[in-house]
Structure 1
């Protein structure tokens, strides 16, 4: 998720096309560190959102409007006074810095034409929006930075604006081969890191891409490369950045299943295991990416209480399981005590009174064993003592074996709830998990007069051969899919010995092609705790062979005959049917 200089270059290219020569119709400041400019240009009315938020600095065109406060902040009032109604005459990016400079032409109080600069710096926690005169004198900024806050640069009215060069990086758009080679050789680090620490505006992801395109191991230090290898890397570097110079951007978001993992202004070939969704606008990329990320973050925040309940129960059951296993280990010698009792009964007549042990031939193994005795007891009493110990440990073993099985089932069930929380995409999914936890007694149900109907819609995919595949998002959906929706000849898939979703393929009575089996297997692997693994074992069987034991928890099934396949968890390329 790198908002690097290349992404900024892509934005500048788009903003020039959409906003250049447009007039600033409205200026609002919805948040303390955010501006919303409404610009009327030949392409229509546009809204430009600029955020200098330390945790998520952004700038992009948006269709949505955000209301500002009743009383506009001072910075907003200053901008309205100077550039309200002004015309944007230039949009530029210095070098490949994460900076966008808007030059605005307007009339001053005397009616004379003059120019001002609105400079947007997208630099993480140092992000800012700075308003300057044409010759670079700061008029004001949305964030004031004093000498006490930064020893590098003050951002205060009356100070001269400059771009701090703390990292001493080179501009990648005009670097020569000799300078390129010298910069990389002098850094004793991995090649990819040497690239992004030597040049402005390059993120680690971009550096990895350049090394990948050059066919080089990005972890090898550049000082180990020969002159020819460095020249090859430089040529690839130059070709990559020629697209930036020419404005040949191809904005895209890369998805891992339904989760957005990365965005870029240029293709990222080394993300071949992700699904690439192309866009015609860098603004749309940023808007969609951060909206999706925000939705996932919000769902994870809303699921925090449920996760805490499940994690607490899991830890409790795992501790119980470990204790029960240790107690079971103490019963391993029970058969020995039974043999001791039998041998004392068989040979005890020859044991002298007061003996502390006896030796006897174990007729089960033909070995001589030494049996400890209580000298205060008769042989018959010693035998009874060993029989009593055997019977006690036998009862303990039988009881613990059942308890261990129940505890193990409980752990497996709670892990399946964890997987369902990981799969959850919206509040309806969380409501389904919450309902299940209430049904099984892990949380207290809140009774209301109004009956809430849960949306119980599974994920829906279509295989490359046209067969419909359904994925349960929680255990209630799994039961619904397997035992109410599927019919006997449909196929059922599940990750072997791992919590995850039931996957149903509607066969329509046909013999399924191999590619559909593989795609359904990938879905079962992806929607399980094994997501991300290269090799996941999947059990699959016709639905008619899947049974649910009486009294079993939601999602729990048994089957005694099945096929297996080994598959990865990459579901890119499998078509999903949008939810109605």
Structure 2
């Protein structure tokens, strides 16, 4: 997906309409590289979300608020000091660069009018939010970039702000026909690559769209272009630039089947053929928030869960190694019964053994087969029998001890895999809090002496089936136990992915006598989706009434047993299942 210069132009067009003249009422920094600005307007309150996160830089208008830390970071405090109640006077973009300049005027401590600039750079891992004075001298930035990090430009307090020129691209908005043709002709590569490689703000998908509108094969080498091709390409190019200059944007997401493949601020007719389709949005902010909200949440929660994942993975690897070693040791005890039989046969037929013999043939009365028993020639038959019984006894004790230990280690592996699965489906910090508590209770995290248990606010997922039945999904082992053994009644239905870590799914039967087939299938899909089988074409799901599900004494959280059940194989697509809160 391309957050290109044209997308920025569309966002700026929206910001001008909504924010110009507004006053900065609140400035918050929810994350170390995010800002959430609340702007007061006569038409109401607006929120502007800014992110310089390396993997997902964003800027858009939103109605969603985000919780802020108890103590505001230094950058946030600096902005509040200078910009609180400041008025937004101008929002601009240099050319089609991925840069947004927000000009703000405010009164300083002496009551004099001052102007400051908040500059947002949407440039992948180089993204930043920079605060400058009226002379474009950097006051501070959300990320500091020293000469040791970048030889092109330092972003530090006191340094002049400028846009680093790393690519010799032309300004697409001001390119005439001759320069357009010269730029393409000097790039010996496919036409669409030459277009986005020559002009600022043009993404690969826009270049492909331009070729499609011009009726020129985008994969054609520029050397093969005719004068007619250049005429058609430039005509489509000017039409596109005019739409940008006149702010005639049409935000849309292109799909192939049900999968979003691209978004753009201009119509993507290139996806109109075949099984492609586009979905339009009233604003680019609405499009970006819809597309990136979940992705941004997942990115953040992945970062915040990194320490927990490392703890679980380390413990899991250690237990798997221990289990493999124990399995090998158990395999080494498989000869124990052979040694016992050798001892018994020597006690029975030992009188046939010749002094100094290295073996003895005897009839195995358990199987009626003749066996050859190896002997130590320095020992008598009775002494050889005693030696075999001693080996048998040692291996038997080893086997019995390992059998118990392997069950414990196997249970621990399953427990850790279930915690890992819970981390995979966690979406919010409160979900992680409950998982961290489970790891603490299990001894994997040491509780600090004066630390109190965190208040648990996470709740199971809640869905409504197409037939109106309430379906609940546990997010972790504690919630699984609570759902199954405290929340569900005996006749409610219980679902779980077969022989793999996953969530318990409870369907409340209510006053109904039986669940419809469609509800059974939807609950099974939830169990498949919230399990390690997510994404597989078919996942086998066990389901049974809750009264048949038991928890053994001393079992790990989330572990249950059942001895009779139904099963079905189903996909993990839950796109058609409605969450209860929507």
**TM-score normalized with structure 2 length:** 0.68
Question: Quick one: which of 377, 386, 392 aligns to 2:379?
Answer: 377
> How far does residue 408 in structure 1 lie from its aligned partner after superposition?
0.6
Distance of 1:435 and 1:132 partners within structure 2:
47
| Whole-angstrom CA distance in 2 between matches of 1:165 and 1:154 | 14
Match of 2:415 in 1: 413
- Contact 1:27/1:36 (8 A) holds in 2: no
- Which stretch of the first structure deviates more once superposed, 4-13 or 362-371? 362-371
| Pairing of 1:127-166 with structure 2 (within 5 A) | 140=137, 164=165, 166=167
The equivalent residue for 1:109 is none
Q: Which moved more, 1:151-160 or 1:381-390?
A: 151-160
Measured in 1, the distance between the counterparts of 2:509 and 2:25 equals 58
The CA distance in 1 between the partners of 2:430 and 2:362, in whole Å, is: 71
Query: 1:62 Cα deviation (Å)?
Result: 6.3
| Residues 87 and 349 of structure 1: CA distance in aligned 2, closer, same or farther (over 3 Å) | closer
Aligned-pair CA distance for 1:311 = 3.5
Shift in CA distance, 565/49, structure 1 to aligned 2, threshold 3 Å: closer
Q: Tell me, what secondary structure is at the counterpart of 1:383?
A: helix
Matching residue of 2:7: 7
Tell me what 1:487 maps to: 489
| Other structure's SS at 1:547 match | coil
The correspondence of residues 450-529 of structure 1 with structure 2, limited to 5 A, is 454-455=456-457, 457-508=459-510, 509-529=512-532
The 1:568/1:376 distance shift into structure 2, 3 A limit, reads same
- Quote the Cα distance in structure 1 between the aligned partners of 2:532 and 2:554: 25
Alpha-carbon distance in 1 for matches of 2:425, 2:577: 17
TM alignment of 1:86-165, pairs within 5 A: 88=90, 91=92, 94-95=95-96, 97-100=97-100, 121-124=121-124, 125=126, 140=137, 164=165
1:47 and 1:99 map into 2 onto residues whose CA distance is 19
Q: Distance in 2 between the 1:420 and 1:86 partners? A: 44
Contact kept in structure 2, 1:29 and 1:73, CA below 8 Å? no
Q: Does structure 1 conserve the Cα–Cα contact (< 8 Å) formed by 2:426 and 2:475?
A: yes
Of residues 391, 400, 403, the one that matches 2:393 is 391
Q: Residue in 2 aligned with 1:572?
A: 575
Contact 1:428 1:455 in 2 (8 A): yes
1:247 partner SS: coil
Partner residue, 1:548: 551
Kindly state the Cα deviation for residue 345 of structure 1 after the two structures are TM-superposed: 3.8
Per mean C-alpha deviation after superposition, the further-off stretch among 299-308 and 552-561 is 299-308
1:557 maps to what in 2? 560
Q: What per-residue deviation string (whole Å, max 9, x for no partner) do you get for residues 224-253 of structure 1? A: xx99xx99xx9xx99x97997741114899
SS of aligned partner of 1:541: strand
The match for 1:273 is none
CA contact (8 A) 2:265 2:284 kept: yes
- CA positional deviation for 1:321: 0.8
What corresponds to 1:111 in structure 2?
none
Task: Determine if contact 2:60/2:285 at 8 Å carries over to the other structure.
Answer: yes
Question: 1:94-131 CA deviation, whole Å, 9 max, x = no partner?
Answer: 35x424477999xxxxxxxxx99997643241657698
Partners of 2:431 and 2:118 in 1: CA distance: 44
Structure 1 counterpart of 2:112? none
Q: Cα distance, 1:310 vs. partner?
A: 3.4
333, 336, 339: which one aligns with 2:335: 333
Q: 1:38 to 1:362 in 2, by over 3 A?
A: closer
Cα distance in structure 1, aligned partners of 2:161 and 2:447: 63
Query: How big is the alpha-carbon RMSD for the aligned residues of Structure 1 and Structure 2?
Result: 5.9
The question of whether the paired residues in 1 share the 8 Å contact of 2:95 and 2:171 is answered with no
Alpha-carbon contact 1:307-1:418 (below 8 Å) kept: yes
Aligned to 2:108: none
Q: Secondary structure at the residue paired with 2:3?
A: coil
| Distance in 1 separating the partners of 2:453 and 2:93 | 57
Q: Map Cα deviations across residues 272-324 of structure 1 (whole Å, 9 max, x no partner).
A: xxxx9986443456568777666656655554554454344323322221121
What is the alpha-carbon distance in structure 2 between the residues aligned to residue 454 and residue 127 of structure 1? 35
Give the secondary-structure state (helix, strand or coil) at the position aligned to 1:376: coil
Task: Give runs of aligned pairs for residues 33-48 of structure 1, distance below 5 A.
Answer: none
The C-alpha deviation readout for 1:38-87, integer Å capped at 9, x for no partner, is 9887866767676778777554446789999899989x98x99xxx8795
- Residues 184 and 195 in structure 2, CA contact (< 8 A), matched pair in contact too: no
Query: Does the C-alpha gap of structure 1 residues 381 and 195 become closer, same or farther in structure 2, counting only changes over 3 Å?
Result: farther
Tell me how many residue pairs correspond in the alignment.
532
**What SS does structure 1 have at the residue aligned with 2:327?**
helix
TM-score under structure 1 normalisation? 0.69
> What does residue range 180-579 of structure 1 map to in structure 2 within 5 Å?
186=189, 200-201=200-201, 206=205, 246-250=248-252, 280-283=282-285, 299-300=301-302, 303-304=305-306, 306-360=308-362, 362=364, 369-443=371-445, 454-455=456-457, 457-508=459-510, 509-578=512-581
- For 1:8 and 1:553, the matched residues in 2 are separated by 51
